[in-house]
Amino acid sequence: MANDNFYIGANDEHGVNPPTLGKRTPVLPGLNRQIYENEFNRAAKNKFIEACMRNSFSVFDVKPELQDISLSERVRRVNRQNLTLLVTFAYNAAGDGTSFNNASGVETFYSIRNQKANQSQQLATDIYNNLIQGTQQNGRGVKNLDVAMLSSVNCTASLIEAGFMTNLREARLMINPLFQTEVGEEACLGVCDFLNTSFIARDNLANYPLLRNGSRGNFVYLLQFILTSYGYNIAIDGIFGSGTENAVRNFQTTNSIASDGIVGNTTWKYLLTLPDYPTLRQGARGSYVKFLQQLLESQLIPVGNIDGIFGSRTKTAVETFQSYNNLTVDGIVGKNTWAILTQMF
């Protein structure tokens, strides 16, 4: 059966604007702030959606809003869609939430009260097995849990708790874009295993077609979804029209690549921030600078605004990171700095 015959739901727990009360880390040293749970949940869900689009699945975003949406409303949304399955993204906590502790690891859940309980258990198992292999997280197993997004929905359903926000290492992973991507990718791989379908890998540029005005299909959906994540206000309709072309040209200009409105290997590489990573210095702009800033913050080195602009504050953060890691302190992000910065664990 073709992947586009499957309809995949993606749900993120809690909200970030405004943040759901209590769903946050203790104050992180260096950053001097708390990380809201939904900062991870939403990012990992979006990476899962990207992976599903790349693999030709039809996707339903249960909660596109930034604010929290009631469980009853989200269950209603799911049950109106006739979904094949649903994956929910969450992050765990232990203790009273005010201090860090040693609780750690990833676990997945299903509900024996789901009308497709056996299938839900198998989905949770397939996702769990891929998360253990892909993220190198401590494994806590596959468990039964009676919550509405598992028990009250009318489709196969699994929930991921990707780590503990009360564990300092795993709190840092919450805002690491490599970890967010890995969780989303492994969840999609688990879905493919469950559905017995092939998986198209993210990091191989040969898997991405050349797109231009007039193109249609799942990779246009993917392109549009990624562009909206960078702040471009365009329709996600799978049709490469003038609005999408203008957004592509603007993205290319921002990233100092040829602004032709055509999405080839170079543009895909910058959209996905794939290696080899370019050398960055003060004055640089674009997707790799934003990626750099996110990685620095996950190292507990503040950069100010994560805005894709390599200014003086980002340069100071790079120098701090280089000093901590016995690198040449020049504020330039070259091969050696990238190599250490992208070591997720």
Spatial neighbors of 96 by CB under 8 A, at least 6 apart, are none
Determine the Cα–Cα distance for residues 266 and 252; give it in Å rounded to an integer: 9
Does residue 345 have a pLDDT over 70? no
Indicate whether 86 and 161 sit together in one domain.
yes
The answer as to whether 282 is a domain residue is no
Q: How high is the pLDDT of residue 2? A: 65
The answer as to whether 133 is a domain residue is yes
Determine the Cα–Cα distance for residues 119 and 144; give it in Å rounded to an integer: 13
Give me the long-range contacts of 59-66 (CB less than 8 A, separation at least 24). Answer: 59/7, 59/8, 59/9, 59/10, 60/7, 60/8, 60/9, 60/10, 61/10, 62/9, 62/10, 62/11, 62/86, 63/11, 63/12, 65/15, 66/15, 66/16, 66/17, 66/42
- The residue among 239, 272, 305 that closes a domain is 272
Using the structure block, give the residue that is written with the tokens 């750099």.
Answer: 292
Q: How high is the pLDDT of residue 75? A: 98
Q: Give the CATH number, domain containing residue 143.
A: 3.40.630.40
Domain that holds residue 139: 3-195
Indicate whether 58 and 94 sit together in one domain.
yes
Does residue 11 have a pLDDT over 90? yes
Beta strands in 185-278 (DSSP E): none
Give me the number of domains the chain comprises: 3
Q: Give the CATH number, domain containing residue 230.
A: 1.10.101.10
Does residue 4 have a pLDDT over 90? no
Strand partners, 151: none
The answer as to whether 77 is a domain residue is yes
Indicate whether 137 and 175 sit together in one domain.
yes
CA dihedral (300, 128, 196, 226) in degrees, to 10, reads: -20
The answer as to whether 26 is a domain residue is yes
Q: Are 176 and 273 in contact (CB under 8 A)?
A: no
The answer as to whether 201 is a domain residue is no
Does residue 34 have a pLDDT over 90? yes
Amino acid at 90: A
pLDDT in tens, 277-297: 999 999 999 999 999 999 999
Determine the Cα–Cα distance for residues 173 and 168; give it in Å rounded to an integer: 9
pLDDT in tens, 105-164: 999 999 999 999 999 999 999 999 999 999 989 999 999 999 999 999 999 999 999 999
Q: What are phi and psi of 124, to 5 degrees?
A: -60, -35
Does residue 344 have a pLDDT over 90? no
DSSP 154-202: SSEEEEEEEEETTSHHHHHHHT-HHHHHHHHHHHHHHHHHHHT-----S
Q: What mean pLDDT comes out for the span 291-318? A: 97
The answer as to whether 267 is a domain residue is yes
Q: How high is the pLDDT of residue 1? A: 54
Indicate whether 71 and 111 sit together in one domain.
yes
Q: How high is the pLDDT of residue 23? A: 96
Extract the tokens encoding 315. 């340069």
